[in-house]
Amino acid sequence: MATVDHSRKQILAKVVWYGTSGSGKTSSLQHIRETTSSPAERRKPLDTRAAGPEGVYEHYTLTVSEQRGYRTRLGIFTVPGAPRFAEARRVILEGVDAVVFVADARPDRQQANKAALDELRTHLDSYDVPLERLGFVVQCTFIDAPDALPVADVVTPLLADRADAAAIPVVGTVPVRGQGVLDTAHQVARQILKLVPPG
């Protein structure tokens, strides 16, 4: 649950960038950091943590200022996407407030996208947290790939079982160029603000 300090007008929330291997999660976090941190911070290496042999995930805190007068500090985590890090992904999800689901637009990644979303639900079940109760944004990546599917064709099947599908923000992005990444972060900050009861 996001922490809200109404007197200081500050919200603290945990956001996990979740999705299949090679879909652009780390590239997204790198872009967010490069464009929002101070020059001194940028000189330090990205906060990278071990998730088991060879697996890594990253962390960065992004401050989004002045939404309805609140400053939102997003503690962002990526997950390592390879199948063998399933348990590491489950652990990283503990206490999450919002998920950015990264859906790869390349045709041969569609089954992997679906498997990642199914796994996300299973992991959240282990914490008794329905995905519907969290902030949720879909970041479609690789829209620059020569064979990329249209964003709607990637996302519609993934959201078919959600009654609120029309209200879920969907952003088409190219993380390696930074395209659409900050928009994704702002969308998720907005989703978190909606979960916060007025002070």
Which residues contact ligand GTP (rule: CB under 6 A)? 21-27, 78, 80-82, 141-142, 144, 174-176
How distant is the alpha carbon of residue 120 from its chain centre?
12
The H helix count followed by the E strand count for the chain is 6, 8
What SS3 state is found at 13? strand
Nearer to ligand GTP, 9 or 59 (CB): 59
CB of 25 to ligand GTP, least distance (A): 4
**Count of residues that interact with Mg ion, criterion CB under 5 A:** 2
Binding mask 14-53 for Mg ion (x = CB under 5 A): -----------xx---------------------------
Residue 96, phi-psi category: left (phi > 0), alpha (psi -120 to 50), beta (remainder): beta
Nearer to ligand GTP, 151 or 165 (CB): 151
CB of 32 to Mg ion, least distance (A): 13
Nearer to ligand GTP, 57 or 70 (CB): 57
DSSP secondary structure code for residue 86 in this structure: H
Buried b (16+ CB within 10 A) or exposed e, 61-80: ebebeebeebebbbbbbbbb
The residues that touch Mg ion, with contacts defined as CB under 5 A, are 25-26
